[in-house]
Amino acid sequence: MFIDCFKRCGRGKFAGGFTLVELLVVVAVIAMLLAILLPTLRLARAVSKKTICQSNLKQLACAWSMYLEHYDGYFYQETNANMDYGGWRGTENPGWVPRPLNRWVGLAETLDDEKSAEVFCCPADKGGVFQSMPRERSFRLLGTSYRTNIFLIGPGQHAQFSPRTKDLDLAISSRLRNLRISQMTAGSAHLVLMGDQGWMFQWMPMSPLRKQQWEQDYKPYAEWHIKPEHYNLAFMDGHTAFVKIRKAYYVTDDYSVVPFKELYGLAYQVQGEEP
């Protein structure tokens, strides 16, 4: 009797498998779960990349500290030093350029292998190298994802960008040649050492035409981490932070790109959006 009942009431009812309505309900539930989970997974992945990037910057800040100690506190000042300070050769560099920071992270100064230079690669690097191929990764083009503060580590004398900032530019340039860490008067916890490559273009004054080109074609690819206008930075004291770089602001409560506190007055006069 039990077997007969099972055949009539149980097995017979489900012998045909799931109905179309049941399948559609299952698919809808799965789709709903994916819609809920995918943004969370994307955010978790982005946070993980940001954390790895900060770890890279902390190691590089430590390497700079060892470099400065070895060279009696003198900053590295050569042509394109803010890009060629370390990393691998990169596809945009036609020749072998010595990269002095490599020594302090256990690499050869002339490195042709990008896989060996991972500490210089931000995992979220998606390009935005100004006046180059906007979607090509900075690490691929330049050999590093990170640019130093050119008011510290960069060309021997800082170029003048616009008449509006001429006095500040000249005042900084006159102090840059043979700059030593003992000559800095800005607080080391406030002074930016280096960061994601796009951070530099955010504060740098530009002509209206260059600014429009940057905003439209490059900036979307130069912001690598979650929030617009926020960049991973390493500071002179070695700590890292995720900071909003305000357009054309040299000095804020969160950071300074000017290493000389006595020039803050000039910086306050010219900083802000270009007219």
Q: Residue 141 CB: number of other CB atoms within 10 A?
A: 19
**Starting at the edge strand that comes first in sequence, how are the strands of the sheet with 192-196 ordered?**
146-148, 192-196, 230-235, 240-244
């009696």: which residue's tokens? 72
Global pTM?
A: 0.84
Residue 26's pLDDT is 77
pLDDT at 95: 64
Q: Return the number of other C-beta atoms located less than 10 Å from residue 218's C-beta.
A: 21
Q: How far apart are CA 235 and CA 101, in angstroms?
A: 16
Number of Cβ atoms within 10 Å of the Cβ of 53 = 25
Pairing of the two strands 146-148 and 192-196: antiparallel
pLDDT score for 3: 46
Q: What is the pLDDT of residue 237?
A: 96
- Residue 222: the pLDDT is 94
Distance CA 174, CA 251 (A): 19
Instruction: Round to whole Å and give the CA distance between 153 and 83.
Output: 9
pLDDT tens, the chain, 275 aa long: 444 544 554 544 545 567 877 777 777 778 787 777 667 677 778 889 999 999 999 999 999 999 999 999 999 988 889 999 999 999 887 667 889 999 999 999 998 888 999 999 999 999 999 888 889 999 999 999 999 999 999 876 666 667 888 888 889 888 888 899 999 999 999 999 999 999 988 877 777 888 889 889 999 999 999 899 999 999 999 999 999 999 889 999 999 999 999 999 999 998 875 54
Q: For residues 267 and 260, is the Cβ–Cβ distance under 8 A?
A: no
Question: Of 60, 81, 64, which Cα lies nearest the Cα of 73?
Answer: 64
Residues in the chain: 275
**Secondary structure of the chain in HEC code, one letter for each residue:** CHHHHHHHHHHHHHCCCCCHHHHHHHHHHHHHHHHHHHHHHHHHHHHHHHHHHHHHHHHHHHHHHHHHHHCCCECCCCCCHHHHCCCCCCCCCCCCCCCHHHHHHCCCCCCCCHHHHHHHCCCCCCCCCCCCCCCCCHHHHHCCCEEECCCCCCCCCCCCCCHHHHHHHHHHHHHHCCCEHHHCCCCCCCEEEEEECCHHHHHCCCCHHHHHHHHHHHHHHHCCCCCCCEEEEEECCCCEEEEECCCCCCECCCCECCCCHHHHHHHHHHCCCCC
